[in-house]
Amino acid sequence: MTDTVSPFSKTSQHSQKRQAILSEAARLFNSQGTRATTLIDIASRLKLTKTSLYYYVKTKEELIYLCYLRSCEVHQQILSVAQNTGTDGRTKIEAAIREYFRRFQGILLNKEPQHAVMTEIRTLRAEHRTEVQSLYFSLYFAYRDLITEGIADGSLEPCNAGATALALFGNIQWTVLWLGDIDPNNIPTAGETFIDIVMNGLSTNPSFQPINFPELSSLSINKGFDRSAQNQLKQEAFYKVGSRFFNRKGFKGTSLDEIAEALNVTKGAFYYHIKDKDDLLLQCFNRTLEHTRAMQTRAIENGKTGLDQLELAAHYLFYIQNSDEGPLIRYNLLRSLKPENQDRILKETQAVDDRFGELVQLGIRDNSIRDVNASIAEQFISGGINSCLDFPELSRGSDDMAKNSADYFQMIFRGMGVR
């Protein structure tokens, strides 16, 4: 006879309440960011007193940590389903994606607890950060191992497994930003479209066609700016270093003093150009949007087909993210902006994403891109650009930036499955 835990036991009740707290916290962290979410917000949504909530968690940092542990557990469960369901590398990856989308549908239908997007691991205190980061890396390595297995068993095309795993895992997590806008009943269909792009890519031609790549070092981000203006040069330096610190340490974990120190300028000189940390984050987003639009325009000028233009835009932005010209700010920091700035940045970001979608539609019309869901395809590009910031840390690339970019985007444009 199997032992069961009575729902009336204190242990069971405590576990259920704890899960409800983690689910609601994850929901708020995902929708409005950790900065804007307070323990009082979470308690009120659950109709708990602040004192009652403190019985389960003492600080917001501890709650973020517990939510991230839960997220890692969910992804590990998804991978376990894949291992038990699939028969080779390809079918295991497909099974993992289907299970992920099944669970997401369950979240939208209130049948599954919400789990947090792990966007601020680096802001956790040292012991928490080390534990969560180790679990997070193990998830990435698990996807890399599945890809390696698929290459070995012949179900997947040869590729840079590390770069492809980053593009895949990054896009799986990116779905949180767009799947919520889809009717829950259509989530399984979106999952099959996701699998189709992962395995078959966007291009109608599965073989790699080298693009006539302009000299990457000539991609002057501020080509339209007056580069002789010293103020502009200094501000550009502030925004680059600010983006680097925000991306690495989050908004709360970044101090203006350490940015000033990294730039080797006095605090007085720094504050002459930057009003405060909120202003710096806003300017980092403005810079990112401006540079993304500039690279899209350049790609349209240099590419012949919709596919050419989309690929060039992706490669240009990969270069910016992983060179001295970058980085660009991570999208997930948008909820760290002041509320009065979020709507404008969100609308401008959506306009940039829609421009990727327009290139997909152009490619479908000129037959360079397969007839896919353009809205989902544009999310693959945006998600890939956001995730490629982790390329130097997680993937073994070469000194050839163009090759690294081609390896990274191979899954999105050519697909990883054997056709």
Residue 315 has a pLDDT of: 94
Within this chain, do residues 93 and 34 fall inside the same structural domain, yes or no?
yes
Query: Which tokens hold the place of 401?
Result: 């930036």
Instruction: Assign 217 a pLDDT band (cuts: 50, 70, 90).
Output: low
The pLDDT, as a whole number, for residue 396 is 67
Confidence of residue 165 (pLDDT cuts 50, 70, 90): very high
Residue 203 · residue 414 · CB < 8 Å: yes
**Tokens matching residue 229:** 């203006």
Q: Which amino acid is at 337?
A: L
Residue bearing the bigger pLDDT, 250 or 299: 299
Residue 132 and residue 212: Cα distance in Å, rounded?
Answer: 42
Q: Evaluate whether 86 touches 95 at the Cβ level (below 8 Å).
A: yes
Lookup: tokens for 384? 């890939």
Where residue 189 falls among pLDDT bands split at 50, 70, 90?
A: very high
Query: Residue 27's CB: how many other CB atoms inside 10 A?
Result: 19
Tell me which of 399 and 292 has the higher pLDDT.
Answer: 292
Task: Tell which wins on pLDDT, 230 or 363.
Answer: 363
Instruction: Specify whether 194 is located in the same domain as 221.
Output: no
Q: What is the DSSP letter of 369?
A: B
For residues 184 and 228, membership in a common domain is answered with no
pLDDT tens string 306-357:
999 999 999 999 999 988 888 999 998 998 899 899 999 999 999 999 999 9
Total structural domains within the chain: 2
Averaged pLDDT of the chain: 89
> Mean of the pLDDT values across residues 79-99?
97
The span from the CA of 274 to the CA of 397, in Å, is 35
Hey, what amino acid is at 144?
Answer: R
Residue 109's alpha-carbon distances to 78, 99, 102, 141, 291, in angstroms, are: 19, 15, 11, 31, 39
How far is it between the farthest Cα atoms of the chain? Answer: 80
Range picked from 33-37, 52-56, 159-163 for highest mean pLDDT: 159-163
Identify whether residues 245 and 175 lie together within a single domain.
no
Quick one: pLDDT at residue 34? 84
Cβ proximity of 382 and 357 under 8 Å: no
Is the pLDDT confidence value at 231 over 70? no
Same domain, 301 and 363: yes
CA distance linking residue 167 with residue 160, whole number of Å: 11
- Per-residue pLDDT at 38 exceeds 80: yes
Residues 257 and 361 reside in one and the same domain: yes
Tell me what the mean pLDDT of segment 10-18 comes to. 69
Euclidean distance between CA atoms 167 and 174, whole angstroms: 10
Length of the chain: 419
Single-letter code of the amino acid located at 11: T
Q: Are residues 181 and 247 in the same domain?
A: no
Whether 1 is in a domain gets the answer no
Query: What distance in Å separates the CA atoms of residue 181 and residue 176, rounded to the nearest whole number?
Result: 10
Claim to verify: residue 151 and residue 287 sit in the same structural domain: no
Q: Is the pLDDT reported for residue 237 higher than 70? A: yes
**Residue 289 structural domain:** 216-371
pLDDT of residue 9: 45
Q: How confident is the model at residue 285 (pLDDT cuts 50, 70, 90)?
A: very high
Both tokens of 105, joined, read: 């549908």
Helical segments of 303-331, H only: 306-321
> Do 98 and 161 share a domain, yes or no?
yes
Q: Which of the pair, 380 or 275, is modelled with greater confidence? A: 380
Neighbours of 145 (CB within 10 A): 15
Strand partners, 203: 369
For residues 193 and 182, the answer to whether their CB atoms sit within 8 Å is no
Average pLDDT (65-94) is: 96
Q: What's the CATH number where 70 sits?
A: 1.10.357.10
Q: Do 296 and 183 lie in a common domain?
A: no
Residue holding tokens 């890809």?
147
Q: Which ranges of 37-121 does DSSP label H, i.e. alpha helix?
A: 39-45, 50-54, 60-85, 89-108
- pLDDT tens by residue, 406-415: 999 999 999 9
Q: What is the pLDDT of residue 8?
A: 41
Residues 6+ apart with CB under 8 A from 84: none
pTM more than 0.85: yes
- The predicted model gives 80-92 an average pLDDT of 97
Q: What percent of the chain has pLDDT over 70?
A: 90
Is pLDDT at 12 greater than 70 in this prediction? no
Overall average pLDDT of the 289-318 stretch: 95
Which among 152, 171, 200 is the end of a domain? 200
CA 81 from centre of chain: 23
Give 349 or 226, the one with higher predicted confidence: 349
d(CA 215, CA 219): 7
